[in-house]
Amino acid sequence: MAQQKIFGYANRISVRPGEEISFHVNCDGASEADAQLVRLIHGDTGEAGPGHIEVEVDSPVNGRWTVKKQFTQLGSFLKVADPESKLAVAGDFSLMAFIWPTMPQRGSRQTILGRWDTLRNKGYALGINPAGHLEFWVGDGTEVDYVTAELPLLPKVWYLVGVSYNRETGRAELYQEGVLNRYNSLVGKVVPYDFASHVVQKFRFKPENEPDLPFIIAGALDEHALRGPFVNDLYAGKIDRPAIGNRALSRAEFDGCRHGGLPPAESVLAYWDTSRQYTANGVGHEVTDTGSHGLHARGFNHPVRAMTGWNWNGKDDCFRIDPSQFGGIEFHPDAVTDCGWEATNRMTIQDGLKSGIYAIRLRVGPGTGIAEEYIVFVVRPKTPTGKLCFLVPTASYLAYANEALSFDAQIIQPMTGQPPVVTDLDVETYEHREYGLSTYDHYEDDAGVCFSSYLRPIVNMRPKYRMSSMNITWQFPADLSIVAWIDHMGYDCDFITDEDLHREGVDLLRPYLCVITGTHPEYVSERMLDAQEDYVAGGGRLIYMGGNGYYWVVGFDSEMPACMEVRKLDSGMRAWAAKPGEHYLQTTGEKSGLWRNRGRAPQKLTGVGFIAEGFETSAPYRKMPDAWHRTVSWITEGIEGEVFGEMGLAYNAAAGVELDRYDLSLGTPPHTKIIASSGGHSDNYVLVTEELLYAYAGLTGSLDYRIRADMTYFTAPNDGAVFSTGSIAYGQALPANGFNNSAAHLLANVVNAFLKPGRLPGSNWTLEEKQWR
Amino acid sequence: MSAADGNGWINRDDQVRAHFDRMTRAYLLSILDDELIEEHRTGNGDHLSEPLSRLLAWCQRRPLSKQYAVKAEADGAFRLVSFSGRRGQPPRYIGDERYTTLQEARHGAFLRHIHDLTEK
């Protein structure tokens, strides 16, 4: 019997009563699964806490679901809409494209462009053969003819490649010339390589043009008995301005294109101008054919745009300055942003279902490990009813979705200071990789992953999951510790997501007296940031429960809101670095990277911002002098002694993992109080790179006083306020000792105060000389 | 001698790294003793002595294919695995030991590194 495993995803991450959500499931080794709607309360199975807690909920969808094997189309490519088969060329033709291949010697065939049936050997295509040489081939369904360049293509070098084909004579002439300049390629002009190759071959066979064969850029049609048709022979690298002509172009005509000209207008069957359609707000998925037939192409699995093209001059760093230099579209054979599975089941959220975090729990066979799946979604209220609102940081869940740092990143053990702890689930998902990568991973060709979506199983967005490299809960399952505390305290709380906030703005927050964040709300769009700033300025009370929050500038795909984009660049604790000229989001046109580098350091909203990260150990907080200030002494009321937060599920204390610091120079409101601060962290805690001007020895926990979590508080206009813990580990400290601990007690002081309308405690003290006890 | 990559390129940086590694290992062998191993066995990962910090830095910075990890088994035991260092290739089990606690398993991984260090 095949190994039993089950994975799934939902088409939405946030849904209201009365709205429908669909579930998409892939199962091996079983045809039925037990399904149960559950409300998730706590997700950390560590012994120091209450363990996993879920509540089964009555629902019509509970019971046996029919499940089956579903397949995922991996790889990004462009498919051309050609309903009249204009590209099933009966006579002579030419193909051309500027290319910047990243893995020419990948060892498998890569199709740059063509109309090719891999299974039946029919059609034509220009591509790269498994040995890394440019190749053109045609097939008649029985035989295939090839013409191959003499020299292998070099990785990350721009070329103009093409072929002229005369059907009558069978003459096929390859064209390969380097077009590298001082900026656009990995190497420059000083490298004594020969980039050019021109080879002529006389073909014996002619291409057979099937009427339904699609024209694909960066892939070719294939077919599997069980799976059906799919796109294979995927290309890795950039393609700029691919084209097909209706006659055999001369070498001089190719040379004209190499020097920046267009192919002769009368010869163009299709010319996909990849630099078209840019606006100040980004670019979508359609690539315009400027030829007379209008055979536009559409991207699948998010080919990366807003990338430099073959003619990038190194000066204009954004497509908004001169889109013509940004025609490069980058393709990755292992990209996936939508698994596209058939819906297995659907449900309409029943009226009266309490707002919260829910999941469809699916089990097959043993019902544990890879035989158990939780498809997580948030039920938001039909209309706001709670006083408290938990802002579920779904953008940050996407950023870390399916990260595999333990397996691929040599740097992770030096960072965490400990060997990873992997499970069967980690090994299974790493080995098969069909559910895509996180923005912490690299594609096979070493490019950083800039897109992540929830239209695929996300194995680490589920209860009970521990991040293998750190062996603690992280993001979603860590945030459940805050959810469990809210549940334990009996607060009337509504749940909303980053996606909701991005779409609806501050109006979504206004009904609430207090908004509380997750442990690590690191990825934030401009609309999300604006909404929270306006909420606080308008009298809202924000509790920032984390560390390293409000950090990366992200955008959401307006055509597919499930998909988020980020580009990592310049500075910051980052898993990869976007290439020069590729720092702007294709989804919005904004410069990505750190909010700090856009003039909006997190200190301006929360009082604190990222200063250090470390693993293995956490530390308690120590009260700072402000803790006794009469305006804020209510925050630590009932906390005996100077030290608190001495227990927790993330390395046994409340201040740890990623830490934030008060910093007036970065915009901490000047009247901010430091209630408490941690310190004495181990030397595994290191200063963040964005703080570095000159590096010097000793920027670690035991030597640098800046490495600490600051707990801060400041008041805002209209009775607003912001309280920040400055530590990821704080949320995971709440459930320790049956929720009876100093970190939980202190947070209750703050939430209870924030949930009372009107003046905040301590606000009657206005004369400075009376404010100290 | 460094091997050529898929593009036929030889990364000479590997040669310099190997030289640095030889120097580092010579130093580590000069400070390695039972006391250091005991410090790791009983430690909580907090503030470490300088010799142990340097030894762990060598262990943790080795190439991915020479790093060890702990596999948490479904039955609650822990075993050691080694990464392939090749994308998509799963880790393989190292030895037959089954550890009762994570601390023991991590110390087991540390001892594997010590074995590698002293065998060379």
Over residues B40-48, mean pLDDT:
85
pLDDT bin (cut points 50, 70, 90) of residue A770 is: low
Amino acid at position B13, single letter? D
Strands A388-392 and A493-497: parallel
Angle among Cα B81, B85, B90 to the nearest 5 degrees reads: 50
- Which tens digits make up the pLDDT trace of A16-73? 999 999 999 999 999 999 999 999 999 999 989 999 999 999 999 999 999 999 999 9
Instruction: Judge whether residue B45 has pLDDT over 80.
Output: no
How far is it, in rounded angstroms, from Cα A737 to Cα A49?
7
Question: Nearest CA to CA, how far is B101 from chain A (Å)?
Answer: 12
DSSP B10-42: B-THHHHHHHHHHHHHHHHHHH--HHHHHHHHH
Examine residue B2 and state whether it is found in any structural domain, yes or no: no
At residue A244's C-alpha, the angle toward residues A240 and A247, to 5°, is 140
The yes or no reply on domain A388-754 and CATH 1.10.3720.10 is no
Chain B residue whose CA is closest to A700: B47
Model pLDDT, residue A686: 97
Residue A772 has pLDDT above 70, yes or no: no
Specify burial of residue B22 (Cβ count, 10 A radius: 0-12, 13-18, 19+): exposed
Specify the CATH number for A92-331; select among 2.30.30.110, 3.40.50.300, 3.90.420.10, 2.60.120.200: 2.60.120.200
Residues 6+ apart with CB under 8 A from A259: none
**CA Rg, chain A, in Å?**
28
Q: How far is it, in rounded angstroms, from Cα A752 to Cα A756?
A: 7
pLDDT digits (tens, 9 = 90+) for A140-180: 999 999 999 999 999 999 999 999 999 999 999 999 999 99
Residues of chain A with C-beta less than 8 angstroms from the C-beta of B8: 105
Smallest CA–CA distance, residue A409 to chain B, in Å, is: 7
- Interface contact flag, B71 A419, Cβ < 8 Å: no
- CA dihedral (A695, A696, A697, A701) in degrees, to 10, reads -60
- Domain residue extents for chain A: 5-72+343-379, 92-331, 388-754
Decide if B8 is inside a domain: no
Instruction: Report residue A228 as tokens.
Output: 């059906």
Q: What confidence category does residue B47 fall into, taking pLDDT thresholds of 50, 70 and 90?
A: confident
Percent of chain A exceeding pLDDT 70 equals: 99
The strand pairing partners of A748, in sequence order, are none
Cα–Cα distance, A44 to A465 (Å, whole number): 7
Of A406, A418, A427, the CB nearest to B45: A418
Sign of torsion, CA B23 B24 B25 B27? positive
Domain that holds residue B101: 13-119
pLDDT for residue B8:
77
CB pairs < 8 Å spanning A and B: 85
Please report residues of B whose CB lies closer than 8 A to that of A417.
45, 56, 60
* pLDDT cut 90: percent of chain A above it: 97
- ipTM of this predicted complex? 0.96
Report CB contact under 8 Å: B45, A468.
Answer: no
Dihedral angle sign, alpha carbons of residues A308, A311, A312, A314: positive
Rounded to whole angstroms, the Cα distance separating A319 from A331 reads 18
In chain B, whose CA is at the least distance from the CA of A617? B46
State the average pLDDT for chain B: 92
H or E segment to which residue A396 belongs: helix A394-399
Give pLDDT, residue A3: 86
Length of chain A: 773
Q: How many CB atoms lie within 10 A of CB A449?
A: 25
In a domain, B6, yes or no: no
Residue with tokens 């002509």: A245
| Chain B CB within 8 Å of residue A684 CB | yes
> Do A427 and B63 make contact, defined as CB atoms within 8 angstroms?
no
Total residue count of chain B as it appears in this document: 120
CATH code 1.10.510 for A5-72+343-379: no
Instruction: Please state, rounded to an integer, the average pLDDT across all residues of chain A.
Output: 96
pLDDT tens digits along A82-115: 999 999 999 999 999 999 999 999 999 999 999 9
A730 contacts A546 by C-beta, under 8 angstroms: yes
d(CA A753, CA A222): 63
Using the Cβ of B13 and the Cβ atoms of chain A, whether some distance falls under 8 Å is answered with no
Non-local (6+) Cβ contacts of A586 within 8 A are A282, A283, A304, A305, A306, A555, A565
Distance of CA B43 to the CA centre of its chain: 17
CB contact under 8 Å between A417 and B60, yes or no, is: yes
Enter the DSSP assignment of A596.
G
Residue B4 lies inside a defined structural domain of this protein: no
A34, A335 Cβ separation under 8 angstroms: no
**Crossing angle for the helix pair B13-31 and B102-119, nearest 10 degrees?**
110
Separation between Cα atoms, residue A641 and residue A661, nearest integer Å: 23
- Name chain B contacts of A430, Cβ cutoff 8 Å: 88, 90
Say yes or no: A103 contacts chain B, CB-CB below 8 A: yes
CA dist B73 → A404, A493, B109 (Å): 18, 37, 16
Segments of A186-323 assigned E as strands: 200-202, 216-217, 220-224, 228-232, 237-245, 268-273, 286-289, 297-300, 304-307
Residue B44 clears pLDDT 80, i.e. is over it: no
Question: Residue B102 class from Cβ within 10 Å (0-12 exposed, 13-18 middle, 19+ buried)?
Answer: middle
The pLDDT assigned to B119 comes to: 84
For position A765, what pLDDT does the model report?
Answer: 72
Tens-place pLDDT, residues A677-734: 999 999 999 999 999 999 999 999 999 999 999 999 999 999 999 999 999 999 999 9
Nearest CB neighbour to A413, from listed B44, B60, B81: B60
Residue A305 has pLDDT above 60, yes or no: yes
Would you call A1 helix, strand, or coil by DSSP? coil
**Torsion angles phi and psi, residue A23, rounded to 5:** -120, 135
For an interface test with A, the pick among B5, B59, B67 (most A C-beta atoms closer than 10 Å) comes out as B67
Q: Which of B53, B72, B83 sits opposite A421 (nearest CB)?
A: B72
Whether B83 and chain A come into contact, CB under 8 Å, resolves to yes
Q: Residue B7 falls within a domain, yes or no?
A: no
- Integer angstrom CA distances of residue A22 from A13, A340, A394: 10, 12, 18
B74 touches chain A (CB under 8 A): yes
Kindly state the greatest CA–CA separation across chain A: 99
A565: which strand partners? A451, A555
Look at residue A12 and tell me whether its pLDDT is greater than 70: yes
Read out DSSP for A419-447?
--EE-HHHHHHHHH-TT---TTSB-TTSP
DSSP assignment of A52-79: -EEEE---TT-EEEE--------S-EEE
Other Cβ atoms within 10 Å of A769 Cβ, number:
5
Q: How confident is the model at residue A1 (pLDDT cuts 50, 70, 90)?
A: low
**Structure-token pair, residue A625:** 């002098």
Q: Please, which residues have CB within 8 angstroms of residue B35's CB and are 6 or more apart in sequence? A: none
B2, two tokens: 């460094």
| B60 contacts A369? CB cut-off 8 A | no
Split at pLDDT 50, 70, 90, the class of A510 is very high
Contact residues for A283 (Cβ-Cβ < 8 A; gap 6+): A277, A305, A306, A319, A586
Q: CA nearest A101: which of A192, A180, A165, A189?
A: A180
Find where tokens 């990338």 sit: A307
The total domain count for chain B is 1
Judged against a pLDDT cut of 80, whether residue A604 lies above it is answered with yes
Contacts of B57 in chain A (CB under 8 A): 414
State the Cα–Cα distance between residues A534 and A507, nearest whole angstrom.
10
Give yes or no for a contact between A517 and A541, defined as CB atoms under 8 angstroms apart. Answer: no
Residue of B nearest to A407 (CA): B83
Cα distance between residue A146 and residue B68, in whole Å: 46
Angle between helices B102-119 and B34-42 (to 10 degrees): 160
Separation CA A556–CA A523 (nearest Å): 11
Element (H, E) at A8: strand A5-10
pTM of the model: 0.97
Residue B64 lies in a domain: yes
How far is A454 from A474, CA to CA, in rounded Å? 17
pLDDT (0 to 100) of residue A471 = 96
What tens digit of pLDDT does each residue of A399-417 get?
999 999 999 999 999 999 9
Based on its alpha-carbon atoms, the radius of gyration of chain B, rounded to whole angstroms, reads 16
Please indicate if any CB of chain B lies within 8 Å of the CB of A448. Answer: no
Q: Which residues pair with A541 in a beta bridge?
A: A514, A721
Residues of A in contact with B102 (CB under 8 A): 421, 471
* Residue A769 pLDDT exceeds 60: no
SS3 A197: strand
Which amino acid, residue A191?
V
Q: Do A431 and B90 touch (CB under 8 A)?
A: yes
Residue B89 inside a domain? The answer is yes
Which residues does residue B20 pair with via DSSP β-bridges, in sequence order? none
When scoring A413, A437, A617, A646 by the number of chain B Cβ atoms within 10 A, the one with the most, hence best to mutate, is A413
